[in-house]
Structure 1
Amino acid sequence: MRRPPYLPFLNGPLSLAPGLKPIAPEAWLSPDTEAHALVDKHAVMRRHRSDVHGARDGSEMAVLELASAVHAVAGPGEGDWASALEGAASAVSDDLCILIKDDEGLWRLEAASLCAPTFWRLGEKLGEPLGGLHGPVPGANPGMVSRIHRMFDAVQPGQVLERFNWTVQPGTARYTPEQTPFKKIAADLPSAGALDALWFRVERQTISKLPMSGAMVFTIRVAIDPLRAALADGAQVAAFRAAWDGIDPVLADYKGWPHYERLVRAALAEAI
């Protein structure tokens, strides 16, 4: 059982604030902590192609530029793919999203390969501006959207910004466009053994700007590890409990955490 590559709860409760921090450009996609999941990702790309791949007219230049950047880091990938975006996505565990600024100054999601969505569907978001992408999140509009717009405008090519999101889930599924199945599973799980029934899901997200097209690239890497591995010692247990308890109740409800409350309490007690 590996040590999870990311433990963002050590930095406190989740927040609606973007919380983006600069990282070294060479750390954009490397090392790929989830390369072991590529075989499963390729299966999702083929089985659910109409759901996980999309590119609107006008995104072609940005797609080719992104594909070149990904291949420069990760190599050519494996298999034959119908588009340059899919070829790039096959080489890394990260999902790849491209946002392009329209004539009205709005950043819109224009192309994406999204194989590990955390409860959203690409078909419902493709072409949407930031306000539409974040619409379901409580408190996201208008303040957060305006903030992200300004941040996107200010990012310079060569800069890479990183943030983390996390939750728990019953099982190891990465392709999760809907939360309802997890809620049903959690309701049926006994409290005994919760530490081994729950898994720790982290989204490692980055944003950067392509130098030629000026498009924004949003990457999402999902890491899934046993919750037991994330609660490996007393300090981690205490930090997790503080982060779980400290979240805004509105945000916790949006993330579905009340459905896991019973199991998380049982897991924390067992970890102690």
Structure 2
Amino acid sequence: MGLAYLALSRQIMGMNAILNHTLPALPWMEPALARLPGMRPVLDDAWTVQTETFAAQMAARDRLIADAAPVHALLPAGQAAAEEVYALMLARLRGTPGYAVTDASVTRPDGVGVPLRPDAPPQTLGRLVQEDVCLLTPGGMGEHTLSGAILCFPASWTLAEKLGRPMTAIHTPVRAYDGDMARRVQRLLDGVRVGQPLWRMNHNLYASADLFHPRPEAAPRLDAVPLYLRAERQCLLRLPQTGAIVFTIHTYLMRLADLGVGARAALFVAHGVAQ
């Protein structure tokens, strides 16, 4: 498959694609990240970051939110947590280089001004940082529940299907998410401490460079020649007042051709793709 992949990658240049050139880690090559759930402590409180795709990703997020795409939702159970993370983010951005924060608006590093809307925390958060932000609150059966989110860049799932569902139900299509994994994840969520966020990275292969890539659970994933690596830096943060868990997702998208030969070969092996 190697020659076919290289030929197609040269043909499809992705004129509208928003692509990264580097990753913060290569999780398929690092044992500590490869083992599920593969969490590490966040250093320097960096649970939000800026990358070389900041301006392009933020413009895409602005368009999705302005076009009323199905990228945000908030249940009553998540309202207090949404208000808390909204206030926490504004306080954080006041000390972040490149941001200018007033009582009425935030000017981002790309020069775009974002009106502050405390009545719409998810939409506002989605226009301030590159990360998608999901809120996990305690629910029934001893599991956390997805009670709200801004999800501009879904990787083969939809917010409408997952909203209000506990972690086990959210991960129904994931084969590795069995009973043992569900218990480990719940222990992890219960153990996240205030002021000590954690991070992990996942990764998958895609034929498409679309950042907005929703897919219903019942829809099969179509087989195609993979051209792109899609990776997510995911952070877990406990809010000090509500105790809710904030789950942030920073999406990276790279051409497979831009990976080093060794890293690409190891990635194909990890995904069982013939070279």
2:246 maps to 1:238: no
| 8 Å CA contact retained: 1:13, 1:246 | no
SS of the residue aligned with 1:59? helix
Which piece of structure 1 moves more, 115-124 or 221-230?
221-230
Report what 2:244 is aligned to.
Answer: 215
| 8 Å CA contact retained: 2:28, 2:270 | no
Name the aligned partner's letter for residue 162 of structure 2.
Answer: K
Which among 167, 188, 194 is matched to residue 204 of structure 2? 167
Report what 2:7 is aligned to.
Answer: none
Name the aligned partner's letter for residue 3 of structure 1.
Answer: H
Q: 1:32: how far off?
A: 4.5
- Distance of 2:169 and 2:140 partners within structure 1: 17
Aligned length: 235
Report what 2:61 is aligned to.
Answer: 41
Report what 2:166 is aligned to.
Answer: 129
Which among 30, 35, 42 is matched to residue 11 of structure 1? 30
Q: 1:25: how far off?
A: 4.8
1:101-134 deviation digits (Å, cap 9, x = unpaired):
1365321000001111110000000000011111
- Distance of 1:10 and 1:104 partners within structure 2: 36
- Distance of 1:57 and 1:127 partners within structure 2: 10
SS of the residue aligned with 2:114? coil
| 8 Å CA contact retained: 2:42, 2:199 | yes
SS of the residue aligned with 1:112? strand
Q: 1:72: how far off?
A: 2.4
Change (3 A) 1:86 1:157: same
Which piece of structure 1 moves more, 114-123 or 167-176?
167-176
Q: 1:242: how far off?
A: 2.5
Root-mean-square deviation over aligned CA pairs: 2.7
Q: 1:136: how far off?
A: 1.0
Report what 1:192 is aligned to.
Answer: none
SS of the residue aligned with 2:73? strand
Name the aligned partner's letter for residue 217 of structure 1.
Answer: V
Change (3 A) 1:94 1:141: same
Report what 1:225 is aligned to.
Answer: 254
Structure 1's unaligned 5+ residue stretches are 188-196, 232-236, 253-260, 266-272
1:152-191 map, 5 Å: 152-178=189-215, 183=222, 186=224
SS of the residue aligned with 2:257? helix
SS of the residue aligned with 1:43? helix
Change (3 A) 1:181 1:71: farther
Structure 2's unaligned 5+ residue stretches are 1-18, 94-98, 100-105
2:188 maps to 1:151: yes
Q: TM-score, normalised by structure 1?
A: 0.77
Change (3 A) 1:2 1:59: closer
1:179-230 deviation digits (Å, cap 9, x = unpaired):
979847x36xxxxxxxxx8222111111110000000010111111222222
1:191-206 map, 5 Å: 198-206=227-235
- The share of aligned pairs that are identical, in percent, is 27
Which among 73, 79, 82 is matched to residue 114 of structure 2? 79
- Distance of 1:33 and 1:211 partners within structure 2: 31
1:56-89 deviation digits (Å, cap 9, x = unpaired):
0132110011111222233536434561221112
- Distance of 1:201 and 1:118 partners within structure 2: 8
Change (3 A) 1:34 1:219: farther
Name the aligned partner's letter for residue 246 of structure 2.
Answer: V
